[in-house]
Amino acid sequence: MHHAWLVPLLPALSFLVIVFITRPRPKLSAAVSIACMLGSFALAALAAYGVFTDNHFQHRPLIYDVHWFGMQGLNVDVGIYLDPSSAMMIFMVTMVASLVQIYSTGYMKGDPGYPVFFSYLSLFAAAMLGLILSSNLLQMFIFWELVGLCSYLLIGFYSHKISAREAAKKAFITCRVADFALLLGMLAIQIIFGTLNLDELSEIMPHFENYTTAGMMTLIAVLVFIGPVGKSGQFPLHVWLPDAMEGPTPVSALIHAATMVVAGVYLVGRTMFLFTEVEPAMHLVAVTGAFTAFFAATIAITQREIKRILAYSTVSQLGYMMLALGVGSLTASFFHLWTHAFFKALMFLGAGSVLHALHHKADVWEMGGLIKKMPVTGWTFVVGGLAIAGIPPFAGFWSKDEILLATFLEGHYVLFALASCTAFLTAFYIWRMIFLAFFGAEKPENHPHESPGSMTGPLLVLAVMATAAGLIGTPGNPLWQNWIFFGHPHHGEPNIPIMLISTALAAAGIGLAYLLYLKDKDKANARALAGMFRPVYKLIYNKYYVDELYLWFNRKIVDGSARMTYLFDIYVVDGIVNGVGAVTKGLGQNLRCVQTGKMQTYALVFFLAVLVITVALAFTDSSSTALVMGGAK
Amino acid sequence: MLMGVSAVHFVLLSAALFGIGLFGALVKKNAISVLICIELMLNAVNINLVAFNKYVTPGTFIGQLFAIFIITVAAAEVGVALAIIIAIFRHRLSVNLDDFDWLKW
């Protein structure tokens, strides 16, 4: 537990070793990376064990701070902040990262960038673990950006593909826009409160009236929230996440489902003391979350590519987590974060296995009956599907129920309705995908085969977790609720109607998907339905044209104003500068003719000038006349 | 002494002498002639100074003092000017001022 600082250090070490020493040898590189990751996992598990067996931790985190640098009014520490939340997170991240790395040895086999891929994965794990364990906002921000960099590198891993390069840039730039706001928020906190230390801030913030106004606090909270909006793919900055599927599938599983994208949720959870002080900011978080959840779920219904469906599902689930934070339930949010990491990593890795078998044919409509040829992948995927749909006793049910309950108890009935609709949609789109891809008639042109053990092994482990991870937070066994909370632990009484509603909605979603996509052999009803709502279908299929809107904004507004200022620069600014030059040059060109080099001309000019001045003075000013004329009257 | 001769006569004389010198200095092409004309102008000034000393502040020697200074400076100036003219002549084989225009731009 006191060696928690080693957890992020080991993957960082493996990154350096691979880059500088073992890069020419792919097998060894992978071995180094996996060994370090497993070591890190063991340490994280020990740390988590230490935390969850010591009741002291329920109230007081373990903090190590080392002074890094400082000047007047600014003191920056680096340190480790270990509490039940971060212990849970490092356990989850190291576990998923280890499984993904093992999976990658099969998935990435034969790729020329094999060792580089593992070095990036290691760097990513180091950055993410560093972010989780940060004891102050600045340190967190550094790792936050490092995580963004790894995301960029891994999305653009297939750099020979233009679409991958574009997606990498899009992800990086979108996140940068959001990070700028986060940075501004942090600066405001440093200026107003004089510290970025999370522990100190949590002491100070409840008495913020001594420092600043409520309006300023709201502004800070909104600015800080924009960072997570970008990182966790909330509307309207969600656009990068589906495109990030250009990266290799293990990356999608690790970064864009299980770990990096939840960094935003984690940051909001960590700075909860800031948000709970200002009611409007909480509402903003809740509404953004609920809207994103619903919005992304509707898009996911119409998508055809297996990874895109999962990507929008991720956006939607992240929306759930934000919603839970917005209604003040850190417990529910982090619980969903925990379960989602397992079942979503499972589904992504399953999708990777399918793509591996079908040679990267991604359209679910071209799949079918895969479960016969790929039983392990298929059945683990079904487990993931049950978990995300929220069928008891799978993990997703308990966490989703917790969120719905928290929303309902806080009295946000509209958001509760929206979240319930999303639960129905989630079950529907996931099972649409499962029925289309894994059940039904086999397609003769496909020749699927089960993936090697290095890939199915992690799937099985994750399937177990997706089943069991929720059992630590059931109403009968509220371990989770006792440990991870903000303020005081609260056990919502088990609300049977809400449980029934959410289960019924999930079952209805699955049932509808079954009727439309499995029972109906030629999918005529589904097509008819899509045809009936043609404009709506088209709108949703094109993701509500958000990308197009941004493109239009960039092309017309940003580029247009850029062109206008360019013209202003060319004609007005350059005109003035060049004009001054041209006038000077012309004057010189003409005036030099006056200088003949002939002394007598100069002398004549002197003489005439003296004459003119004398005469002028003599006729204009009587007092100076006397001077010139030497006193003669 | 000098009956019937007033300051006006001296002024007229010096003005005439100065005018002749100026005209020569501006018009003559020979560098030596120009130098001579400059001497004429200086001496016209000298006459002026001495004459005014006599008629305006008799009994003092301020005007004469200035005249002597000017003669001294003129001598030095002639020395330098002749040296320059000789140097240019050796270089260019000419004392025509119209040829001396290579200091322009």
* 3 state SS for A185-224: HHHHHHHHHCCCEHHHHHHHHHHHHHCCCHHHHHHHHHHH
Same domain, A495 and A408: yes
CB contact under 8 Å between A604 and B26, yes or no, is yes
Residue B103, pLDDT > 80, answer no
The string of pLDDT tens digits covering residues A118-146 is 888 889 888 998 898 888 888 899 999 99
In a domain, A534, yes or no: yes
Same domain, A258 and A332: no
CB contact under 8 Å between A603 and B105, yes or no, is no
- Can you tell me the mean pLDDT for A3-25? 83
Residues in chain B closer than 8 A to A603 (CB atoms): 25-26
pLDDT at A633: 42
Nearest to A336 by CA among A286, A385, A263, A397: A397
Q: Is B81 on the interface with A (CB under 8 A)?
A: no
- Can you tell me the mean pLDDT for B77-100? 88
Residues composing chain B: 105
The string of pLDDT tens digits covering residues A515-574 is 777 777 666 776 777 777 777 777 777 777 777 787 788 778 888 888 889 999 888 899
One-letter identity of residue A412: H
Residue A629, pLDDT > 60, answer no
The whole-angstrom separation of Cα B29 and Cα A54 is 114
The whole-angstrom separation of Cα A433 and Cα A439 is 10
Q: Which of B25, B27, B102 sits opposite A597 (nearest CB)?
A: B102
Crossing angle of helices A84-107/A453-468, nearest 10°?
A: 150
Q: What are the contacts of B7-12 at 24+ separation with CB within 8 A?
A: B7/B51, B7/B52, B7/B55, B7/B56, B10/B47, B10/B48, B10/B51, B10/B52, B10/B55, B11/B48, B11/B51
Nearest to A116 by CA among A18, A34, A188, A27: A18
Task: Output the six-digit token pair for A485.
Answer: 């909370």
- Cα radius of gyration rounded to whole Å, chain B: 17
Other Cβ atoms less than 10 A from the Cβ of A276: the count is: 18
Q: Which of A596, A603, A607 sits opposite B104 (nearest CB)?
A: A596
pLDDT at A505: 84
Phi, psi torsion values for A127, nearest 5 degrees: -65, -45
Residues in chain B closer than 8 A to A599 (CB atoms): 97, 100
Residue B105, pLDDT > 70, answer no
pLDDT at A158: 85
Give the minimum alpha-carbon distance from B100 to chain A in angstroms, rounded to a whole number: 7
Beta bridge partners of A136: A197
CB contact under 8 Å between A596 and B101, yes or no, is yes
The dihedral through the CA atoms of B83, B89, B92, B95 has a sign that is: positive
The string of pLDDT tens digits covering residues A568-592 is 988 889 999 999 999 999 998 888 8
Domain range B7-99, its CATH number among 1.10.10.10, 1.10.20.10, 1.10.287.3510, 3.60.21.10 = 1.10.287.3510
Residue A196, pLDDT > 70, answer yes
- Cα radius of gyration rounded to whole Å, chain A: 33
Residues in chain A closer than 8 A to B100 (CB atoms): 597-599
CB contact under 8 Å between B101 and A604, yes or no, is no
CB contact under 8 Å between A598 and B22, yes or no, is no
As a whole number, the mean pLDDT across chain A is: 83
Is B80 buried (19+), middle (13-18) or exposed (0-12) by CB count in 10 A? Answer: exposed
The string of pLDDT tens digits covering residues A73-96 is 777 888 888 888 888 888 888 898
Residue A630, pLDDT > 60, answer no
Q: Is B25 on the interface with A (CB under 8 A)?
A: yes
In a domain, A150, yes or no: no
Residues 6 or more apart in contact with residue A379 via CB below 8 angstroms? A371, A463
Q: Which residue has the higher pLDDT, A523 or A467?
A: A467
Domain that holds residue A106: 1-135
The whole-angstrom separation of Cα A549 and Cα A542 is 11
pLDDT at B1: 53
Is the confidence metric ipTM above 0.90 for this complex? Answer: no
Task: Output the six-digit token pair for A290.
Answer: 């609920």
The whole-angstrom separation of Cα A7 and Cα A531 is 53
CB contact under 8 Å between B105 and A592, yes or no, is yes
- Can you tell me the mean pLDDT for B6-26? 91
A596, closest residue in chain B (CA to CA): B104
Residues in chain A closer than 8 A to B26 (CB atoms): 600, 603-604, 607
Residue A50 binned pLDDT confidence (cut-offs 50, 70, 90): confident
Same domain, A346 and A493: yes
CB contact under 8 Å between B34 and A600, yes or no, is yes
In a domain, A140, yes or no: no
Same domain, A573 and A430: no
The pTM for the full model equals: 0.75
Give the minimum alpha-carbon distance from A607 to chain B in angstroms, rounded to a whole number: 9
Same domain, A78 and A169: no
Same domain, A29 and A68: yes
Same domain, A334 and A363: yes
Same domain, A358 and A480: yes
Same domain, A99 and A200: no
Task: Output the six-digit token pair for A415.
Answer: 């958001």
In a domain, A100, yes or no: yes
Q: Which of A595, A599, A603 sits opposite B100 (nearest CB)?
A: A599
CB contact under 8 Å between A604 and B104, yes or no, is no
Give the minimum alpha-carbon distance from A621 to chain B in angstroms, rounded to a whole number: 24
What 8-state DSSP symbol labels residue A556?
Answer: I
CB contact under 8 Å between A600 and B105, yes or no, is no
pLDDT at A261: 86
| Contact in structure between A540 and A301 (CB atoms under 8 Å) | yes
Same domain, A172 and A247: yes
One-letter identity of residue A425: L
Q: Which of A596, A597, A603 sits opposite B26 (nearest CB)?
A: A603
A interface with B, Cβ–Cβ < 8 A, is 592, 595-600, 603-604, 607
Q: Is B23 on the interface with A (CB under 8 A)?
A: no
Same domain, A117 and A14: yes
Other Cβ atoms less than 10 A from the Cβ of B51: the count is: 20
In chain B, % helix, strand, coil (3-state, to 5) comes to 75, 0, 20
CB contact under 8 Å between A599 and B97, yes or no, is yes
Distance of CA A567 to the CA centre of its chain: 37
pLDDT at A429: 87
Largest CA distance in chain A: 131
The whole-angstrom separation of Cα A257 and Cα A241 is 9
Same domain, A386 and A478: yes
Q: Which of A600, A604, A607 sits opposite B97 (nearest CB)?
A: A600
Phi, psi torsion values for A65, nearest 5 degrees: -125, 135
The whole-angstrom separation of Cα B23 and Cα B20 is 5
Domain count within chain A: 5
| Contact in structure between A36 and A100 (CB atoms under 8 Å) | no
A602, closest residue in chain B (CA to CA): B26
Share of chain A above pLDDT 70, in %: 95
The whole-angstrom separation of Cα A574 and Cα A571 is 6
Crossing angle of helices B7-27/B31-56, nearest 10°?
A: 160
Exposure pattern of B1-20 as b/e (b: 16+ CB <10 Å)?
eeeeeeeeebbeebeebbee
